[in-house]
Structure 1
Amino acid sequence: MPLVDLNELFLWEETRKVDKTGCIRLDGNTYEVDSDLVRRTVTLRYDPFDLSELQVWDGEQQYADAVPVELNNKRSRKAAAAALDGVPETPADETLSFLALAERKRQAAWTTEELRFTGKGGDVR
């Protein structure tokens, strides 16, 4: 399975109502969407570690991605707090995907585990 398709499986979804100016808000950010969606409720699909890109869906139809108008938060606060527990801090201007986060967690666990070896007699050193 291609990496892009795999990443799609982990996108979060939220619904928002498009205001009369054609904008929606998510996690302190403002985005502009297709003008055909004014005053409609849409589904947003996004990577919570990269809020610069939001897919916009109305039912089964995908529209053009939302365009950031005011991007105050590059990451979702909820996701960052929960998922980064025990993972080294990432600079705020660096984006992370779920797959990159999983790899960082794996590496962090590997470096903190004690390596153990078993000798011929079964003793652990």
Structure 2
Amino acid sequence: MFLFSESRTVTKTATVSLYGNDYEVDQALVGRKVDLVFDPFDLSAINVRYMDRDFGKAVIHKISRHSHPMTIAHSPETIKPTGIDYLSLVDKQHRKYLGSPIGYRELNAEEEK
């Protein structure tokens, strides 16, 4: 698997920002420049490195983007229409099941005679 790496400086609140997402890192890294190693297709798992030492995974604080901006978004294949109107078929079957409506006005008129 090919991983990307980006350098970021850890804020005083022990967070780093990467492509609009915020992550919490080890408190010992405050003020230091760290390397964030990640899969470009999954920004939910970020490994933190400082001076070639692994500091574990960054904890997601706020995530708005789930993949690297340069990755190609995989759109689902377009579904070809079948030409069958299923809703219309169900509606016809339902109306057939219900039958004709009862005319309550006519029922009352027959009782008055």
TM-score grouping bracket, smaller chain normalisation? 0.5 to 0.7
| The one of 55, 75, 79 aligned to 2:47 | 55
Runs of at least 5 residues in structure 1 that lack an aligned partner in the other structure: 1-6, 91-125
Q: 2:25 aligned with 1:33, yes or no?
A: yes
Q: 2:55 aligned with 1:69, yes or no?
A: no
Match in the other structure for 2:36: 44
- Structure 1 residue 64: Cα displacement: 1.6
Determine what percentage of the aligned residue pairs are the same residue.
Answer: 37
Note the aligned Cα RMSD (angstroms): 1.2
TM-score using structure 2 length: 0.64
| Aligned residue-pair number | 76
TM-score using structure 1 length: 0.58
The structure with more radius of gyration: 2
Q: AA paired with 1:26?
A: L
Per-residue Cα deviation, 1:67-118 (whole angstroms, up to 9, x for no partner): 01001111111223xxx5xxx515xxxxxxxxxxxxxxxxxxxxxxxxxxxx
Match in the other structure for 1:100: none
Q: What SS does the aligned partner of 2:16 have?
A: strand
Match in the other structure for 2:75: 89
Q: What SS does the aligned partner of 2:58 have?
A: strand
Matched residues in 2 for 1:75 and 1:60: separation? Answer: 25
Q: 2:8 aligned with 1:11, yes or no?
A: no
Q: AA paired with 1:45?
A: V
- Structure 1 moving runs of 4+ over 2 Å: none
- Structure 1 residue 13: Cα displacement: 0.5
Match in the other structure for 2:90: none
Q: AA paired with 1:55?
A: N
Runs of at least 5 residues in structure 2 that lack an aligned partner in the other structure: 77-113
Match in the other structure for 1:4: none
